[in-house]
Amino acid sequence: MSDRFALSRRRLLGLTAGVGLGAAVSPSLAFGSSPSSAYPKGQRPRVLNVLTEDSLSPAERTLATTLQGLMTRRGGESLYLNLPTLGYQHWLDGLISQYGIRVRTEDLWKTVGRSGIRGYVLFRTGTPSVNVATTLAGVTGAVAIEESLEALAIQHGLRKVLDVRDKDDRWVFETYWPRLRHDVVVEQRADFPERLRDYVTMAGTLAFFDGNSDFRAQVVSALTDDGTVIGWGDASNGEDAFIGVNSSTGVKALPADHARNLSVLSGIREDHLTQRGRAFDPALRPAPSTAQPTNGPQSGGGGGRALEPAPDPNAHYVSFLITDGDNIQWALGDFPTDPRWFGSPRRGEVDLGWGISPSLIDLAPSVMRWFYEQSETDRWVVGPSGAGYMYPSRYPTAALEKHTASLANAMGRADLSVAQIIDFNAFENTRLWSSYLKRREIDGLIYLEYSRYDGLKGKVVWSEGKPVISARTMLWDGLDGADEASVTAELNAATRNPHSTAGYSIVVWHAWSKSVDNVLSVVSNLAPHVKVIPPDTLVRMVGKYAKP
């Protein structure tokens, strides 16, 4: 090993005068995090230099995002990569209007000059060295420079700190793991020049990608209990190929491999947010003692948890809930703008259930706030399988306890009371669900059998006196019984008895093959006795009125 790699811990962090980032901080500590935060957080910026992503070359995007990550460690000035056609314009507008952050259009290299950063790590496109350079940008405090930009970097006063063009993810793991975070890693393909790279650099994490190899298993096994893999793995043989490995080692995943600007978005702090959407169907008569709904603490747009109405004895109650709510990249990207989903002009015609990752209360609280403020009739529940995507039945006991404790804290802060679960043949394992349901913040669980989601046809089991409710049916293109006509017929023929678990149905609609329009085509053909309510209301009504 050369002297260049035998630097002190202080120098390896790059937090010295040579790169202009101030005092040393251990990467094992979250940058700017608070005790309640489960994830490393950037510092809140005062000014953002806004660059349109499409205006930059791939090599410039890697430079920009590693620069962004380093600048958000200290706050003040940073940059923002905008994609105006996606949700990123919403998030930028919110940072300006809700949090008073100033923006300006600026040249990338001028931003480099003002940053005070004076070093670079050299990498080569088309090789794993982009992940190595992204990781070591966080360790050294130097930006990642692709070899085609090296002459320009030198012209702007940068000096080479490391040349990693011949290095790979295994090398950086074996060489630098003691100096990286052990609670979070980022799984990212080398052919994505900008996505998630700002967060890697800001947080001081390992960036890697190696398919479903033994090396990948070694990386996730090295994480602490209930550690997090942010990004996405190789799903060519099914997502369970890597989510299963994660789960067996007590590690969860946050799908986010297309996410941008997390270092900046995480710099916002919200201790608590409250849903605005109504928590009951106003068409139902209220119970005599609950004529006025009671609301929780106000934040982010008002609303809160209301007491349930008294059930109609001749009604069947149904909730429609979208799949894939754990997907952070989707929430940040086209989910808020696409007319198939939250961007539908027909959203609001009926109370819909949406999934969301509770990690957003730390990773992008302004985004969560925006969704809540836009939700006058919509209600939100936790996406699979809690604080991240994993299979609870495969999680080691100690890791699951840590997971559900952290989940309950995030749910309390984010005004969420119901979590979705995806697992394999675990529905009857009430001991497993006790780890979730003994937490006062969690009212119940919605269980989805891995294949197919509605395989248990609405069965309910109980743990800690709370319900675990399986999906009765689903809307999913190309599957038998999952078309609009079949779902409508099944709901219209369902039991009318709110004092029985058979009197309630959860319909899961597949995000990638169905839309709000498909859901509304079912709703428009429901019989009058079939009443649509939000999923958290349904869970609480089952818990209150359909006790075993």
Output the 3-class SS for 387-431.
Answer: CCECCHHHCCHHHHHHHHHHHHHHHHHCCCCEEEEEECCCCCCHH
Q: Can you name the residues that pair with 229 across neighbouring β-strands? A: 185, 253
pLDDT confidence of residue 286: 54
Examine residue 452 and say whether the peptide bond preceding it is cis (omega within 30 degrees of 0).
yes
pLDDT at position 37: 78
- Round to whole Å and give the CA distance between 452 and 475: 12
pTM beyond cutoff 0.85: yes
Angle at 519 between CA 517 and CA 522, to 5 degrees: 110
What does the buried/exposed string (b/e) look like for 519-543 if buried means 16 or more CB atoms within 10 Å of the residue's CB? bbbbbeebeeebbbbbbbbbbbbbb
Half-sphere exposure in the Cβ direction for 394 (13 Å, CA): 21
Backbone angles phi, psi at 127, to 5 degrees: -130, 165
Q: Which CATH superfamily is domain 316-546 in?
A: GxGYxYP glycoside hydrolase, C-terminal domain (3.20.20.490)
Angle, CA of 246, 252 and 254, to the nearest 5°: 120
What is the distance between the alpha carbons of residues 416 and 406, in angstroms, rounded to a whole number? 13
Q: What is the pLDDT of residue 83?
A: 94
Helix axes 484-492, 516-523, angle to 10 degrees: 40
Domains of the chain: which residue ranges? 45-267, 316-546
For the chain, the distance separating the N- and C-terminal CA atoms, rounded to the nearest angstrom, is: 66
Q: What is the pLDDT along the chain (548 residues), one digit of tens a residue?
A: 332 222 222 223 333 223 333 333 344 344 444 556 789 999 999 999 999 999 999 999 999 999 999 999 998 999 999 999 899 999 999 999 999 999 998 899 999 999 999 999 999 999 999 999 999 999 999 999 999 999 999 999 999 999 999 999 999 999 999 999 999 999 999 999 999 999 999 999 999 999 999 999 999 999 999 999 999 999 999 999 999 999 999 999 999 999 999 999 999 999 999 998 776 655 555 555 443 333 333 333 334 455 666 889 999 999 999 999 999 999 999 999 999 999 999 999 999 999 999 999 999 999 999 999 999 989 999 999 999 999 999 999 999 999 999 999 999 999 999 999 999 999 999 999 999 999 999 999 999 999 899 999 999 999 999 999 999 999 999 999 999 999 999 999 999 999 999 999 999 999 999 999 999 999 999 999 999 999 999 999 999 999 77
Q: How far is CA 345 from the centre of its chain?
A: 25
Q: In whole angstroms, what is the distance from residue 99 CA to residue 95 CA?
A: 5
Whether the CB-CB separation of 427 and 482 falls below 8 Å is answered with no
In this prediction, residue 309 carries a pLDDT of 66
Q: Provide the 3-class DSSP secondary structure of residue 321.
A: strand
Quick one: pLDDT at residue 3? 29
* Cα separations in angstroms, 532 against 318, 322, 381, 417: 5, 14, 16, 19
DSSP 131-190: HHHHHHHHHHS-EEEEGGGHHHHHHTT-EEEEE-TT--HHHHHHHHGGGS-SSEEEE--T
The sign of the dihedral angle between the CA atoms of 98, 102, 104, 106 is negative
**Size of the chain in residues:** 548
H or E element in which residue 104 lies: strand 102-105
Three-class SS state of 338: coil
